[in-house]
Amino acid sequence: MHEHQLFMKEKESIDDLVDQGYKIIGIKEDLSGAHVHFDYIDHDNRSVKTKVLHVLSADARKYFTTLLFAKEKRFN
Amino acid sequence: MADLSVNLAGIKSPNPFWLASAPPTNSGYQVQRAFEAGWGGAVWKTLGDPVINVSSRFSASTFNGQKVAGFNNIELITDRPLEVNLEEIYETKKKFPNHAIVASLMVEPKQEKWHEIVKKVEAIGVDGLELNFGCPHGMAERGMGSASGQVPELVEKQTYWVKEVAETPVIVKLTPNITDVTATAYAAVQGGADSISLINTINSLMGVDIHSWNTIPHVSGKGTHGGYCGPAVKPIALNMVAECARHPEINIPISGIGGISNWQDAVEFMLMGSTNVQVCTAAMHHGFRIVEDMIDGLNNYLDEKGLARAMDLIGQTVSKYQNWGDLDLNYKVAARINPEKCINCNKCYISCEDTSHQCIDRLIDANGKSYLKVREDDCVGCNLCSIVCPVDGAIDMIEYPSEVAMTWNERQSLLGKMTIGEETVS
Ligand SMILES: Cc1cc2nc3c(=O)[nH]c(=O)nc-3n(C[C@H](O)[C@H](O)[C@H](O)COP(=O)(O)O)c2cc1C
Ligand code: SF4
Ligand code: SF4
């Protein structure tokens, strides 16, 4: 698969979760890429669902950190 | 017309173009002709205990038939008695009082030796001193030159000894034959140097003759390592100048040396923090008169930029030279092939396909004509295709500025706050 196609597929998965209301709550990086932990927070602020995406492509690893970084910048 | 004069740690010259300490500054005859041609200053061929040189001293690399890509020498310091050099320095200074004459010095790492030569040289009236801690061959085997220039303690100590007696500004000339040039540059600062100059030549062996199995050059069948300089070393020199210029504790003026061949090179070194530049190989290759183009070129450039003084250039690019971790990961460039200019040589296709990211497609248009197109989404912007393309303007690197700039360091600090232990797969 072309790198860009892999990136688009991974970006889509990240965007899907974000659109559903999931938030990135933790990241673990190792030799095989990044494991991105998402939590869905319900109205009572209790975590109800957790998902982990294994993100491989460099562009997607950059993408999710940029999302977080942009958010952090907005709040600072 | 802009003011080209510069002031390096108190040493004034009518323009920033100096001849480096080397064969072009071996004698009064040469330096006077150089000043007549327009050079603003000269660092005299290194003075010290006179040496004996070998014959067959220089060699050079050509690139695709073009001379001289790099230049190698096994010459030592001056082989003329000190008094002869001093007499000629005196005469030259008398004739050219407004030009800078700096005496390059090299003696054994002993306090009394440094005191002796500094006093003798300053007595005839030089504008400054340059301590040669850089010569990589011959002299180094005797504990001088780069042998002492590679040891920060020796650089500091010898600079200090010179400063004990020197009345003129002291420039410390650094060797590039060291892993981190800022270590010795900082030692020079600690020793009290007024300026640093860099680079001297880089250890090199020009070649081996595959027919005779002799080294190139050889002296009666034997060879020894030399010092490399000329256009090939410019990127190495420029980086070393930049590393010193951006170092917060190296805050003395810099004289830039290494592969400078024209006014554009000089401007680059000045933008990267050099107050002036020194030239050796280009003058040896083309003669003293290259300085005419350097002066005109610099003048026109300053006028075009609306700058009144050459000194306004100094260090303008230094703050843009940073650690890799401070570069924006989200900035992107991508190659675009211009079909009007492309001659279909396929060089870009081969380089990208074999050694980069396989993102140039060979396509056929409606008229059955083949053409190349970059899949910009897959292009990582490595620049390789535009580097190998033989036609100017056939490949443009299109810039895509980032919406959110994020550096590696910023990313890592963010990840630091979010890193968790073992992943749980849902
Ligand atoms: C043949 C030759 C002799 C040199 N002799 C000296 C010397 O005596 N003292 C010194 O400080 N540098 C000496 N150098 C080094 C030059 O001053 C300069 O640092 C070096 O050549 C890099 O500049 P370039 O690329 O413009 O040649 C010599 C260089 C060459 C090529
Ligand atoms: S810039 Fe690099 S990746 Fe992009 S097309 Fe050229 S060679 Fe390929
Ligand atoms: S290297 Fe340049 S000229 Fe050759 S095919 Fe590519 S774009 Fe065209």
pLDDT in tens, B39-52: 999 999 999 988 89
CB atoms within 10 A of CB A54: 14
pLDDT at B40: 98
Encode pLDDT of B172-230 as tens digits: 999 999 999 999 999 999 999 999 999 999 999 999 999 999 999 999 999 999 999 99
B349, B353, B355, B374: residue to mutate for ligand 2 pocket, most atoms within 8 A of CB: B374
pLDDT at B423: 44
The CA B327 to ligand 3 mean position distance, Å, reads 30
pLDDT of residue B30 exceeding 60, the answer is yes
Q: Which chain B residue's Cα is nearest to A65?
A: B411
User: Could you tell me the CA-to-CA distances from B306 to A53, A61, B301 in Å, in that order?
Assistant: 55, 45, 9
pLDDT of residue B363 exceeding 60, the answer is yes
In B, which residues are within 8 Å of A59 by CB distance?
none
Confidence of residue A46 (pLDDT cuts 50, 70, 90): confident
Q: Is B261 in the pocket of ligand 1 (CB under 6 A)?
A: no
The C-alpha R_g of chain A, in whole angstroms, comes to 13
Confidence of residue B122 (pLDDT cuts 50, 70, 90): very high
The CA B397 to ligand 3 mean position distance, Å, reads 13
Containing H/E element for B417? Answer: helix B408-418
Mean pLDDT of chain B: 95
Which of A52, A54, A62 lies nearest to residue B329, judging by beta carbons?
Answer: A62
- Specify if A10 maps to a domain: yes
By mean pLDDT, which of B13-17, B74-78, B184-188, B200-204 is the weakest? Answer: B74-78
- Specify if A76 maps to a domain: no
- Record: contact B423-A35, CB cut-off 8 A: yes
- Specify if A18 maps to a domain: yes
Confidence of residue A1 (pLDDT cuts 50, 70, 90): low
The CA B78 to ligand 1 mean position distance, Å, reads 12
Residue nearest to atom 3 of ligand 2 (CA): B379
Q: Is B379 a catalytic residue?
A: no
- As a whole number of angstroms, the distance between CA B358 and CA B372 comes to 12
Q: Which chain B residue's Cα is nearest to A59?
A: B330
Residue A9 sits at the chain B interface (C-beta within 8 Å): no
In B, which residues are within 8 Å of A54 by CB distance?
423, 425
Q: Is B394 in the pocket of ligand 3 (CB under 6 A)?
A: yes
Task: Determine the average pLDDT of the residues in B277-305.
Answer: 98
pLDDT at B424: 42
Percent of all residues in chain B with a pLDDT value above 70, rounded to a whole number: 99
Encode pLDDT of B60-72 as tens digits: 999 999 999 999 9
For residue B303, give every residue at least 6 positions away whose Cβ sits within 8 Å of its Cβ, in sequence order, or none. Answer: B1, B2
Confidence of residue B138 (pLDDT cuts 50, 70, 90): confident
| 0.90 surpassed by pTM | yes
- Record: contact A69-B404, CB cut-off 8 A: yes
Q: Is B335 in the pocket of ligand 3 (CB under 6 A)?
A: no
- Record: contact A52-B423, CB cut-off 8 A: yes
Confidence of residue B147 (pLDDT cuts 50, 70, 90): confident
Q: Which domains does chain B have, with CATH numbers?
A: 6-317 (3.20.20.70), 324-400 (3.30.70.20)
Backbone angles phi, psi at B6, to 5 degrees: -130, 160
Backbone angles phi, psi at B379, to 5 degrees: -70, 130
Q: Is B13 in the pocket of ligand 1 (CB under 6 A)?
A: no
Number of domains in chain A: 1
The CA B383 to ligand 2 mean position distance, Å, reads 6
- Record: contact B420-A26, CB cut-off 8 A: yes
- Specify if A39 maps to a domain: yes
Q: Is B387 in the pocket of ligand 3 (CB under 6 A)?
A: no
pLDDT of residue A8 exceeding 80, the answer is yes
Which of B375, B410, B419 lies nearest to residue A27, judging by beta carbons?
Answer: B419
pLDDT of residue B426 exceeding 70, the answer is no
Ligand nearest to the CA of B21: 1
Residue A29 sits at the chain B interface (C-beta within 8 Å): yes
Q: Tokens for B266, please give them.
A: 């000089």
In B, which residues are within 8 Å of A52 by CB distance?
423-426
Nearest to B5 by CA among B100, B118, B103: B100
Task: Determine the average pLDDT of the residues in A53-70.
Answer: 96
- As a whole number of angstroms, the distance between CA A71 and CA A25 comes to 13
- As a whole number of angstroms, the distance between CA B265 and CA A25 comes to 51
HSE of B353, CA atoms in CB hemisphere, 13 A: 10
pLDDT at A2: 78
- Record: contact B378-A3, CB cut-off 8 A: yes
- Record: contact A65-B404, CB cut-off 8 A: no
Q: Is B382 in the pocket of ligand 2 (CB under 6 A)?
A: yes
Residue A25 sits at the chain B interface (C-beta within 8 Å): yes
- Specify if A49 maps to a domain: yes
Q: Is B260 in the pocket of ligand 1 (CB under 6 A)?
A: yes
pLDDT at A74: 83
Task: Determine the average pLDDT of the residues in B75-104.
Answer: 96
Which of A3, A29, A62 lies nearest to residue B330, judging by beta carbons?
Answer: A62
Instruction: Please give the residue range of the domain that contains residue A11.
Output: 3-71
Exposure letters B104-133 (e unless 16+ CB within 10 A, then b): bbbbebeeebbbebbeebbebebbbbbbbb
User: Could you tell me the CA-to-CA distances from B234 to B60, B79, B264 in Å, in that order?
Assistant: 15, 28, 12
- Record: contact A2-B378, CB cut-off 8 A: yes
Residue nearest to atom 8 of ligand 2 (CA): B352
Partners of B279 in beta bridges:
B19
pLDDT of residue B77 exceeding 60, the answer is yes
pLDDT at B332: 96
Task: Determine the average pLDDT of the residues in A27-54.
Answer: 89
SS3 B291: helix
CB atoms within 10 A of CB B57: 15
Residue nearest to atom 6 of ligand 3 (CA): B348
Q: Are B7 and B311 in contact (CB under 8 A)?
A: yes
In B, which residues are within 8 Å of A57 by CB distance?
none
